[in-house]
């Protein structure tokens, strides 16, 4: 039997906030669930990492020194769990089987991350949402996404954003900004093209994991990319 494609989809917490910029917008949850469902219908195994920036980020919580950075980061990790639980509901409403696995034990409402267990869920066609980041302060959910993608042996990581991909400079500020269809890990790191933070890019580079950046809010994009349409995204690879 042909091996199924396995991908890790990462999106920021802010994506869930919709126009509000804060909290969780149910219409966005529903939309994302519909896009993920298309992948499952087409025999793709899907892991998901969601950020927490729509609720709190460690750096922001710690900005005036009252809250320690480490505590702020734990608050950020908890925010990702809130988003994961919400996404689980939306995916289940769309008829999918879902498991949330948290890097930090929260046994009342989700599983704790166990790599082999996650693999089994994926093989059985369940969506696995990886919550609570890496479980460590000073990391981001981008790094979490790359780490989990490598662990579950995903073929690619898709960073699903509100923009079409990566430009050499800010297209809102520079008319001559060029869209970059492919970028090397080195260029992403050295030209400070903020596809992901440096830790995440370095980990992807070490493991030759391609990072695809695309606009998740164009309907059907995720599936088109998985089916090979690379004209609608940027890819960071060797």
Determine which residue in the list 6, 7, 14, 180 makes contact with ligand UDP, applying CB under 6 A: 14
Determine which residue in the list 18, 125, 137, 210 makes contact with ligand UDP, applying CB under 6 A: 137
Question: What is the closest distance, in whole angstroms, from the C-beta atom of residue 60 to ligand UDP in the complex?
Answer: 8
Give the nearer residue to ligand UDP in terms of CB position, either 41 or 163: 163
Question: What is the closest distance, in whole angstroms, from the C-beta atom of residue 144 to ligand UDP in the complex?
Answer: 5
Angle at 75 between CA 72 and CA 77, to 5 degrees: 115
Question: What is the closest distance, in whole angstroms, from the C-beta atom of residue 151 to ligand UDP in the complex?
Answer: 14
| C-alpha distances out from residue 7 to 104, 122, 156, Å | 23, 10, 5
| Interacting residues with ligand UDP between 72 and 91 (CB under 6 A) | 72-73, 76-77, 79-80
Name the residue with tokens 């710690």. 62
Name the residue with tokens 């089994």. 120
For the chain, give the number of residues. Answer: 238
d(CA 110, CA 28): 23
Question: What is the closest distance, in whole angstroms, from the C-beta atom of residue 51 to ligand UDP in the complex?
Answer: 2
Q: Is 102 among the residues that bind ligand UDP (CB under 6 A)?
A: no
Q: Is 161 among the residues that bind ligand UDP (CB under 6 A)?
A: no
Q: Is 6 among the residues that bind ligand UDP (CB under 6 A)?
A: no
Tokens of 140: 């981001």
Q: What secondary structure letter does DSSP report for 51? A: -
Per-residue interface string for the shown chain with ligand UDP, residues 23-52, x marking contact by CB under 6 A = ----------------------------xx
Give the nearer residue to ligand UDP in terms of CB position, either 85 or 230: 85
Residue/partner pairs of 218-227 with CB below 8 Å, 24 or more apart: 218/164, 219/35, 220/35, 220/38, 221/35, 222/9, 222/35, 222/36, 222/38, 222/39, 222/158, 222/160, 223/35, 223/38, 223/39, 223/42, 225/158, 226/5, 226/7, 226/39, 226/42, 226/44, 227/42
Q: Is 12 among the residues that bind ligand UDP (CB under 6 A)?
A: yes
- Distance, C-alpha 98 to centroid of its chain: 16
Q: Is 101 among the residues that bind ligand UDP (CB under 6 A)?
A: no
Interface residues toward ligand UDP, by CB under 6 A: 12-14, 51-53, 57-58, 72-73, 76-77, 79-80, 133-134, 136-137, 139-142, 144
């Amino acid at each position: 039997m042909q091996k199924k494609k396995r991908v890790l989809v990462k999106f920021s917490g802010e994506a869930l906030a919709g126009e509000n910029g804060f909290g969780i917008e149910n219409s966005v949850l529903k939309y994302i669930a519909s896009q993920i469902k298309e992948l499952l219908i087409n025999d793709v195994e899907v892991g998901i990492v969601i950020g927490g920036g729509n609720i709190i980020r460690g750096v922001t919580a710690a900005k005036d020194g009252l809250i320690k950075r480490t505590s702020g980061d734990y608050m950020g990790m908890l925010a990702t769990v809130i988003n994961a639980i919400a996404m689980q509901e939306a995916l289940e409403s769309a008829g999918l089987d879902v498991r949330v696995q948290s890097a930090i034990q929260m046994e009342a409402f989700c599983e704790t991350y166990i790599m082999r267990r996650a693999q089994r869920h994926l093989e059985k066609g369940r969506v696995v949402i990886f919550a609570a980041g890496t479980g460590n302060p000073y990391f981001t959910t981008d790094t979490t996404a790359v780490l989990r993608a490598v662990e579950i042996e995903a073929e690619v990581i898709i960073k699903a954003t509100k923009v079409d991909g990566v430009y050499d400079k800010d297209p809102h500020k520079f008319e001559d900004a060029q869209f970059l269809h492919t970028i090397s890990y080195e260029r992403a790191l050295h030209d400070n093209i903020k596809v992901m933070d440096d830790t995440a890019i370095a980990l992807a580079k070490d493991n030759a994991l391609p990072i695809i950046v695309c606009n998740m809010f164009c309907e059907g994009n995720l599936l088109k990319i998985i089916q090979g349409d690379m004209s609608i995204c940027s890819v960071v690879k060797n």
